[in-house]
Amino acid sequence: MTYDLYIGARTYSSWSLRGWLMIAKFNLPAKVHMVDLYGSDMARDLAHLAPARLVPVLRTPEGDAVQDTLAIAETLAERHPKAGLWPADASARMLARWLVAEMHSGFGNLRNDCPMNLAHRWVGFEPSVGVLDDLKWIEELWAAARKKFGGDGPWLFGEYSLADVFYAPVAARIACYELPVSKAAQAYVQAHLNDPAFREWRAEGAKQIILPKPYQMPLETAPWPVAD
C-alpha cells in the first residue's frame, strides 16, 4: 500500500514540505515525485492527476488524487487512524485543528514578505508591522497549545502531530529571516531545525540547483543556523 507524492522544490516550497512531513514523520509508505515548480512543465507533470494542478498532490494506492495540504492531511488521518497524525485527546485534537486551519488560511503578511528559503539566512531583514502582528498571533497560538497539552516534549501537543507539520515552514521562516520571537517560540523553532526529517528534507533540497534563484532580496546572506 504505497502512495505517490508529487512535490516541488524542497528549498522553497513550503506546501511541499508540509505534504512530505505528513508522510515521513508518520512512517507512511510513499514514492516521491519531483515536479518542475518554477519551469513550464508543471502542468504536464500533473496532467495525469487532473484536476490537480498545484503541488503537493497525493495519489492513493487506489489511484485517487487529492491536492491541498489540508485535504491531504485529513485523507491520511482518516486512512491511518492509528498513526497519530492528530492528537489522541479530543480537546487537544480540536485545538490542533484550529491551529492547522489558522496556518492554512492566514498569516498572509508572513507568507508574502518572507517566502520560505532553506538555503541560507537573510541578514538585516526588517519585518513589517503586518509580519510582527502575524508573529504575535502565532506565538499566542503556540503558547496556548504548549501550556495545555505540550507537557515536557518539544512539540505543540507533546507528541509530533499535524499541527507541527503545518508550522514547520513558519519555523523555517523565523530562522531564515531572523524574525523576533520569544525564547519559548525560538525553542520550538529550534526543535524543527534539529528534527531529523526536516534536516533530511533540507539536505535533499541543497542537491537541486534552480536558476534563477527564487525569492531573492537585496540583503546579505549568512549560513543556515543549524550545521549540516
Same domain, yes or no: 64 and 135: no
Domain that holds residue 146: 90-201
Q: What is the reported pLDDT for 105?
A: 93
- In this prediction, residue 42 has a pLDDT band, given cuts at 50, 70 and 90, of confident
Tens digit of each residue's pLDDT (9 = 90 or more) over 120-170: 999 999 999 999 999 999 999 999 999 999 999 999 999 999 999 999 999
Same domain, yes or no: 58 and 115: no
Same domain, yes or no: 144 and 99: yes
Q: Say yes or no to pLDDT of 65 above 70.
A: yes
Q: What is the reported pLDDT for 228?
A: 46
> Closest Cα partner for 12 from 195, 215, 221?
215
Looking up residue 42, the CATH number of its domain turns out to be: 3.40.30.10
- In this prediction, residue 61 has a pLDDT band, given cuts at 50, 70 and 90, of very high
3-state secondary structure of 172: helix
Same domain, yes or no: 103 and 194: yes
> DSSP for 73-112?
HHHHHHH-TTS-SS-SSHHHHHHHHHHHHHHHH--HHHHH
**Domain assignment of residue 228, yes or no:** no
Domain count, the chain: 2
Looking up residue 155, the CATH number of its domain turns out to be: 1.20.1050.10
Grid cell locating 114: 518572507
Of 42 and 169, the structure prediction assigns the larger pLDDT to 169
Determine if the pTM surpasses 0.85.
yes
Average pLDDT (34-49) is 86
Same domain, yes or no: 187 and 123: yes
CB-based contacts of 207-214 (< 8 A; 24+ apart in sequence): 208/9, 208/10, 208/11, 208/34, 210/9, 210/11, 210/12, 210/38, 213/119, 214/9, 214/12, 214/38, 214/115, 214/117
Q: Say yes or no to pLDDT of 39 above 80.
A: no
**Domain assignment of residue 196, yes or no:** yes
Q: What is the reported pLDDT for 227?
A: 53
Tens digit of each residue's pLDDT (9 = 90 or more) over 98-123: 999 999 999 999 999 999 999 999 99
Tens digit of each residue's pLDDT (9 = 90 or more) over 171-218: 999 999 999 999 999 999 999 999 999 999 999 999 998 888 999 999
Same domain, yes or no: 193 and 95: yes
- In this prediction, residue 74 has a pLDDT band, given cuts at 50, 70 and 90, of very high
Chain-wide mean pLDDT for the chain?
A: 95
**Domain assignment of residue 163, yes or no:** yes
Q: Select from 27, 57, 79 the last residue of a domain.
A: 79
Q: Say yes or no to pLDDT of 41 above 80.
A: no
